[in-house]
Structures are given as structure tokens and as C-alpha cells.
Homo-oligomer: A and B are copies of this chain.
Amino acid sequence: MSGHATNLRLKLPAICFLLQLFTIILFAVFVRYDQETSARLWHEELSHHNKSNRDNDFYFRYPSFQDVHTMIFIGFGFLMTFLKRYGFGSVAFNFLIAAFAIQWSTLIQGFFHSFHDGKIHIGIESMINADFCSGAVLISFGAVLGKTSPIQLLLMALFEVTLFGINEYVLLSVVGAKDAGGSMTIHTFGAYFGLMVSRVLYRPQLDKSRQREGSVYHSDLFAMIGTIYLWLFWPSFNSAITAHGDDQQRTVMNTYFSLAASTLATFATSALVNGEGKLDMVHIQNAALAGGVVVGTSGEMMLTPFGAMIAGFLAGLISTLGFKFLTPSLDSRLKIQDTCGVHNLHGMPGVLGALLGALVAALATQDVYGDGMADVFPLIADGSRTATYQGICQLFALLITLGFAVVGGSLVGAALKIRSLGSPPDTQCFEDQIYWEVPEDHQDGYMTAVNSEDPERSASV
């Protein structure tokens, strides 16, 4: 019986309560308001440095933060509602694991980046970084969507956030790579981590649930809410933690043009690869966003607007081709079942973005950057490395990220194979009804599906 394996009545409360309790205790011990958030410290700052309340970094980061926040919870959440019978799970498990991941990553990233005097000091930047990290987890979620229980997802988040923090620390603080929009730390890492988890959790019998893997007309429209919000706010995402001033404005503009170009490339390629010249909603929903991923590293650099367009155009092109030609063979040949096609939206464009970042970094000159060099490439500006060497470091960062993602994803996937984690049976993937009280109109469809198309119904996991 599937009923008993997927009944989460005690397990889900237990893990939620435990994780939340554990997090609260760690916060109580380690986490404190930073200088801009604490009443006493900020007012000391005000009086010592002749500042005004309006110099608080809140006013220069919070609008960006809210855009990123919207991408994480509306963007990713609704993007995944395209499945006809997994809308609740898509938007709500997205909600659950992101709500946990932002707390946990505040701790993990805090230990690596803002730990001093035995305490983690947090403020608006740590909130942006926590949302970024949860973005990586949600990308991985896209690969395993519909095939995992919320318990597995929470555990995946627990481990992935931790590994994300380590990888990010190595890249930014050890290697000295630049990656403000996370082509490597977020997209490449999240995609290949998730793909490895999916590989380890491979289901040879997934065909038993294929009738539920598609969309219905209105579920595709719900998904477009996610797509458009991700597209709109990607400029904020890539610029949210760059240096203030020209850097933020330039990153926004590069991302804006890259996305516009990837949109045209996606429509063009979608019609081209379809036998009848018809457009495919899956491509529009996903590949049009590849332009945001591909300038995640280079967006803050002097990429030039037309450079951003070329990058976005290529990203939209390869992403659409990936959906058409690569995803089927990933499944059949490499045994990687990638529900949302994260390899096409985040994997390949992420790697391309890392390579582009290395190239643009290697081409940096004092003439082009002027005194702005110190904001974009501080190690070049202070003479401790050349532009070429910075480019090499960027390449090295990509390799490290791929290593962490592949090894980490494999290990975590193995851990998630544990029998009692409530994974759905092969016959009940992409189906809300196993984890949710659903309205009558949904139950009917389910009964039909179960009774007519899949009569045995004996589950096995």
C-alpha cells in the first residue's frame, strides 16, 4: 500500500519542529543584529561618523532584496506549477523549503562571512545572501519535482545549504573569484547538485506516472506568472550584492538586455525545432530566462550592452535546444530525470556564464574600468593579480563548483534513498493527492487516473 509509506503524519511534524527548534537555539546562541540593525550600535555609528539615518544601507539594498525575495517565492514557486496535478506541491513545497533554507543559510553563510567575536552579525545583506542560497536549493528542487516527499526536500535543503556555503566561501574568499549573480555559486551548483540527486534517485518505472507529467491550459498560465516575475526581477538578482553606484546600475542594464535577447532567441528556436512551426510553452517558460543566468558572473563587469545581448541570445538558443534534444537523452541514456529541465535553464547557461565571466575578467583593462576597477576586481586593482590570472581563477572556480555539486549531490541523493522518508511510489509521482487534502474536482481526475489508467495500483518504494 502506498498509503502507509507516504503518510507523513508524524514524520513531517517531527522534522519541521526539530529543524526549527535547532535553528532557534543556534540563532539564540550565535546570531546578533549587525551595526546597521541594532538600535544602540547604529546610533553610536550615527554620532561617531556624522551620518544620517538615511545613510543606512537599508535604503540601498532593500528594494533589490524584495525583488529577489519575489523571485524565490513567486518566481520559482509558480514556475513549477505547470504540472497539471502538482500545483499545490510545487508552490507550497517551494514555500516550505525556501522558508527553512533562508534560516539555515543565515547561519551557514554567517559562520563563513560575518562571524566575529563569537557571534554572527546579520543585516540586509545577509538576508539577500540567504535568499540567494535558497535559490540554489529551489533549482535542485526543480530537478526532483514531483518525485520526492517534503521530508526528503527538507533534508536536501539542510545538506545543500551547508555545501553551498562551503563552496561559496572557497570561491569568493579563497580563490578570489567574482560571481555576484551566481552563475557558478547558484545556477551551476544548484543544477548539477539537483541532477546528481535525481540520478541517484533514478526511477526506472517512472513511465507509470507519465500521464501526469504534462500541463493543462491554465497550469501553463500559472507557470507564466513565475516566468515573468523571474524575468522582470533578474536584473535585481544579479545586482543585489554588487558594489553600490555604477556597478549596480551596469549589472541591471546588462541583465536587462541579455534577457531581452534570450527571449527573441527562445521564440525563434522554439518555432524552428517544432515540426509544425508551433511554439512550445515549456521553452518560453524556461529558456527565455537563460539570459539572466548567463550574465550572472559577468553582469557587473564592463560587458557592454551588445556583449550582454550576444550572451543572452546564445543562452536562449542553447537552452531551447537543450529542452528539445538533450533532456530526452539525459533521461534515456544517463538516467537523469530532470522534471523542470534545470539542466537547460540553469546548468548549461550557468557554465556558459562562468566561461563568459572568465573571458570578460581576463580582458579587463585599466583604461576601460578606471578607478572603478577596485569595485569589480579588487585584486587586480591592488596589483595582487593580473587580469589574465583573474580569468584563470574564474575557470578554476567553475571546476570547483562542478566538483562540489557532483560529489555533494551524489552523496545527498544516496542519503535520501532511505526508505522511510515518505517518497511517492512510481505510480503516484507528480500527484498532489498523496500529500494534500485536495478539492473534489481534483479527486475526480485522480480517481480516473488511478482506476482507468493504472489499475494495479500496488505501490512499491
Which A residues have a C-beta under 8 Å from some C-beta of B?
A: 3, 7-13, 16-17, 19-20, 23-25, 27-28, 31-33, 36-44, 46-47, 53-60, 62-63, 66-67, 69-70, 73-74, 77-78, 81, 84, 87-88, 91-92, 95-96, 99-100, 102-103, 122-124, 127, 150, 214-222, 224-225, 228-229, 231-233, 236, 243-250, 252-253, 256-257, 259-261, 263-265, 267-269, 271-272, 274-281, 284, 288, 302, 304-306, 309-310, 313, 367-373, 375-376, 435-442
Partner of A8, one of B23, B41, B62, B271: B271
Cβ contacts under 8 Å, A288 to chain B = 95, 99
Q: List 21 A-B contacts (CB under 8 A).
A: A3-B276, A9-B277, A12-B271, A31-B306, A43-B372, A54-B55, A59-B60, A66-B236, A69-B232, A73-B228, A73-B231, A77-B228, A95-B228, A95-B288, A96-B263, A122-B253, A123-B253, A124-B253, A150-B267, A217-B441, A279-B436
Cβ contacts under 8 Å, A74 to chain B = 225, 228-229, 232
- Contact between A309 and B58, CB atoms less than 8 A apart: no
**A153 vs B259: C-alpha distance when bound (angstroms):** 20
15 more A-B contacts (CB under 8 A) besides A16-B267, A24-B261, A103-B309? A9-B272, A16-B264, A27-B306, A32-B304, A42-B245, A46-B371, A56-B244, A58-B252, A59-B60, A62-B249, A66-B236, A87-B218, A88-B279, A219-B439, A279-B436
Which of A9, A259, A435 has the most B CB atoms < 10 Å from its CB? Answer: A9
Cβ contacts under 8 Å, A91 to chain B = 221, 224, 228
- Contact between B20 and A265, CB atoms less than 8 A apart: yes
- Contact between A276 and B7, CB atoms less than 8 A apart: yes
> Nearest CB to that of A26 among chain B residues?
B306
> Closest CB of chain B to A176's CB: distance in Å?
19
> Nearest CB to that of A215 among chain B residues?
B439
Cβ contacts under 8 Å, A73 to chain B = 228, 231-232
> Closest CB of chain B to A39's CB: distance in Å?
3
- Contact between B39 and A368, CB atoms less than 8 A apart: yes
Cβ contacts under 8 Å, A46 to chain B = 245, 371
- Contact between A260 and B99, CB atoms less than 8 A apart: yes
**A272 vs B222: C-alpha distance when bound (angstroms):** 29
- Contact between A437 and B371, CB atoms less than 8 A apart: no
Cβ contacts under 8 Å, A376 to chain B = 39
**A224 vs B53: C-alpha distance when bound (angstroms):** 36
Which of A260, A275, A371, A436 has the most B CB atoms < 10 Å from its CB? Answer: A260
Cβ contacts under 8 Å, A252 to chain B = 58, 62, 124, 127
Cβ contacts under 8 Å, A55 to chain B = 54
For the complex of A and B, 4 pairs with smallest distance between CB atoms: A39-B372, A9-B277, A40-B370, A53-B245
**A225 vs B267: C-alpha distance when bound (angstroms):** 24
